[in-house]
Structure 1
Amino acid sequence: MSSTLKVGILGYGYATATFHAPLINAVPGLKLVAISSSNATKVHADWPQLQVCSTPEELIARTDIDLVVIPTPNETHHALAVKALTAGKHVVVDKPFTLDTAEAHDLIAHADAAQKLLSVFHNRRWVADFLTVQKLLASGQLGRITHFESHFDRFRPEVRQRWREGAGLGSGLWYDLGPHLLDQAICLFGMPQTIYVDRVLQRDGALADDWFHAVLGYGELRMILHASMLVAHESPRFIIHGTKGSYTKEGIDPQEDALKAGVRPDAKDWGVDETMGRLDVMRGTWMQHSQVANERGDYTRYYAAIRDAILHGAPNPVPATEALQVMQLLEAGMLSAREGRLIRLHH
């Protein structure tokens, strides 16, 4: 393999246009060669130099592509990844990894048999607020953590005509934003002992869940993961309480909005989140109040790590085995919501 990794992407929907194509293009050592799409005009309007394959199978069959990226509807992830791995390609699958744990296990087996890298695009490990929370918890300033809330709220009252909001398999907010929050939870605290999830359709004309509330149990620690499409006022992103103090942070990492606006990752202030968090910590007998500046976020670190893993044997930034854990919690959450009960997890 050469020093440049040649990449093909399946499909040209929102995820490809907003995230994958711009991020791959921004990483030295990666070369975006082709995209599969039934609408070549749409692709060439943004990327005139790229070759467009009419079907995923045509792209996968190309001998000049080393890595296939799969940001297609969730129900297609497994079948397309199997085809790419069988063809001898390295594979990146957008979150969620698959529809269920059975499919996830099967893909891991295919990757092992092909001896190819299989990774999942959990890009929100590289956002400013989460990186800041990781650093804060590692510092021990809050003491033993007893309560942790992670919100991903938006205001989108109109149901849009897209598969994520339709009635198909893998649609709805639990499968769309749930993987982000669950992956971050696992990164911080590992797998929980229990999970309870409530899901509901709240918007007029909704076809899939657009509100969820999950409670993860870690001994005495309770972690709340929450998302809604009907929150008009900016809400706290993180609320953390510990035995020595508390931390709160409002606002969402700016990278997605920047990409949607056409800003590229080489911009001067890329990944800078200027909305600081508030830290309240006991210092002896008095409470100290301070603001916490954010670490710098950078989605491109994921693809840079993919490059290094394939070309230089560095660690996979998001191994499929870690994404499998997210699938286990997604699946357990579905069971909890369906039966209205707490699920005890056995790892």
Structure 2
Amino acid sequence: MKNQVTVALASFGMSGKVFHGPLLKVNHNFRVKLVLERSKTLSKELFPDATIVKTYDDILTDNEVELVVVNTPDKYHYTMVKQALEAEKHVVVEKPATLRSAELQELIELAKAKGLAFTVFQNRRWDGDFRTVQKVIEEARFGRLIEFESHYDRYRTEITPGTWKEEGDEYGGVLYNLGSHMVDQAYVLFGKPQTVTAHLKTVRKGGEVADYYDIRLDYDGFSALLKCSYLVMDPGPRYIINGEYGTFKKWGIDGQEDLLKAGNLPENDDWGKEDVDWWGTLVYTENDEHVEELVETIPGDYRIFYDKLYEAIRNDKALPVDPAEALEVLKILEACLLSNKERRTVIL
């Protein structure tokens, strides 16, 4: 196809196999030329014509490669993104973009100086439940917003040994993993909070990193509560939004990840649609009348990320995720660490 963007994947673990690989496979504006796999050949199933390389230098020195997807463990993001930008490549990096905000600031300035597209894969901006929440908040039929509550709970008693997400320092664990998504969603909805209060814990026996957080972001007149735990067998609502005159609740979680893990490609018109049984409920008063209604879930669609990225690279349109927004999210995560460490509320 004419004017395709030539891509290299910097790894083919869970992120490459489940997210980036399938999304690039169905988007004919991109061509995956190289995949870095040091010991396996798993990418051949999706990309039989791509070349498997053994070193990152093989990607950096290929003059045909325009876009590098850095989807390696978090601790490698800063160095690998910097190398790709210095090699004149556009870059997509998995969240969190870096572990420290100063590092991300440096990368943003480097990309700007070189005129390169640099963006962060915050795919959960295109979850169906979150897209629906955005619409519900914009319509504000529940009146003045009082409290927003979001949960990302799991039930995982086991700890997989040797997994980088289960070991490390304060940057390991759920805060920089799932918390990156939840703080990003709050930032998209409400912007920068006035204060941050966070509690982190390890709730599983034998755990080495935080697998629980309770984050409170305070704004002018309302609060956003973000919660995650790996020991929730029977989860409650995913989202609860309380307004002056009503409440919205949404159970369940966007189904795209499970579909992708099962090997489905996002290529049909029904992609991301949710069964009516999982639609949210909105209860409010209007003209002294009590109103209860189902709120149809807007279909989730991770494909939008790469659609927008193509337009950014080829037609100078807006990036799917502005790295300046990712920088603010990272500063909030850093405030969470500080709040937990010093047992206090941090003023931003």
TM over 0.5: yes
1:94 and 2:115 correspond: no
Determine whether 1:276 maps to 2:279.
Answer: yes
Equivalent of 2:296 in 293, 296, 299: 293
The residue that corresponds to 2:192 in the other structure is 191
CA RMSD of superposed structures (Å): 1.3
Letter in 1 for 2:307: A
Question: What residue in structure 1 maps to residue 149 of structure 2?
Answer: 149
Equivalent position SS for 2:32: strand
Percent identity (aligned): 36
Does the residue aligned with 2:25 lie in a helix, a strand or coil?
helix
CA contact 2:239–2:249 (8 Å) conserved in 1? yes
Please give the secondary structure, in 1, of the residue aligned with 2:99.
coil
Per-residue Cα deviation, 1:24-52 (whole angstroms, up to 9, x for no partner): 11112111111112124333355333211
Rounded Cα–Cα distance in structure 2 between residues aligned with 1:271 and 1:293: 13
Alignment of 1:63 with 2:66, yes or no, is no
Cα distance in structure 1, aligned partners of 2:199 and 2:56: 36
Alignment map for 1:141-290 (pairs within 5 Å) = 141-161=141-161, 162-168=163-169, 170-274=171-275, 275-290=278-293
Report the CA distance shift for 1:169/1:209 in structure 2 as closer, same or farther (over 3 A).
Answer: closer
Counterpart amino acid of 2:128? A
Distance 1:45 1:170, change over 3 A: farther
**Are the equivalent residues in 1 in contact too, given 2:212–2:229 (CA < 8 A)?**
yes
Q: Is the 8 A contact 2:25 2:46 kept in 1?
A: no
What corresponds to 1:130 in structure 2? 130
The 2-side partners of 1:22 and 1:307 are apart by 16
Deviates more, 1:64-73 or 1:260-269: 260-269
Runs of 4 or more consecutive aligned structure 1 residues displaced over 4 Å after TM superposition: none
What is the rounded CA distance, in whole Å, between the counterparts of 2:213 and 2:242 in structure 1?
Answer: 22
**SS of 2:41 mapped into structure 1:** helix
1:316-337 CA distance string (max 9 Å, x none): 1101111001111011111001
Separation in structure 2 between the aligned mates of residue 301 and residue 28 of structure 1, nearest angstrom = 13
Equivalent position SS for 2:268: coil
Q: CA deviation at 1:254?
A: 0.2
1:336 to 335, 339, 342: 339
Quote the residue 2:139 is aligned against. 139
Alignment-derived partner of residue 80 in structure 1: 80
**Distance in 1, Cα, partners of 2:40 & 2:100:** 32
* Residue 10 (structure 1) aligns with: 10
- Contact 1:11/1:56, CA 8 A, preserved across alignment: no
Q: Which deviates more from structure 2 when the two are superposed, residues 185-194 or residues 50-59?
A: 50-59
Superimposed CA distance per residue, residues 248-295 of structure 1 (whole angstroms, 9 cap, x where no aligned partner): 000010000110011110134311122100100102222111111100
User: Do structure 1's residue 25 and structure 2's residue 25 form an aligned pair?
Assistant: yes
Q: Hey, what's the Cα distance between the residues in 2 that align with 1:36 and 1:169?
A: 28
1:311 equivalent in structure 2: 314
Q: Which amino acid aligns with 2:168?
A: A
The farther-off stretch of 149-158 and 264-273 is: 264-273
Structure 2 residues not aligned, in runs of 5+? none
Query: Equivalent of 1:320, from 311, 318, 323?
Result: 323
Output the CA distance in 2 between the equivalents of 1:229 and 1:47.
Answer: 34
5+ residue gaps, structure 1, are none
> What is the Cα deviation at residue 196 of structure 1?
0.4
Letter in 1 for 2:302: Y
Matched residues in 2 for 1:202 and 1:267: separation? Answer: 40
- Greater shift, 153-162 or 192-201, is seen at 153-162
Residue in structure 1 matched with residue 103 of structure 2 by the alignment? 103
Task: Provide the rounded CA distance (Å) in 2 between the counterparts of 1:95 and 1:319.
Answer: 13
Equivalent residues of 1:142, 1:242 under 8 A apart: yes
Name the SS for the 1:297 alignment partner: coil
The AA in structure 2 aligned to 1:94 is E
Residue deviations 1:231-258, cap 9 Å, x none?
1113211000011211000001000011
Contact 2:22–2:46 (Cα < 8 Å) also in 1:
no
Of 58-67 and 33-42, more deviation after overlay is shown by: 33-42
Alignment-mate amino acid for residue 207 of structure 2? A
Aligned to 2:113: 113
Count of residues in correspondence between the two structures: 344
- 8 Å CA contact 1:164–1:171 kept in 2: the answer is yes
Per the normalisation by structure 1, the TM-score is 0.96
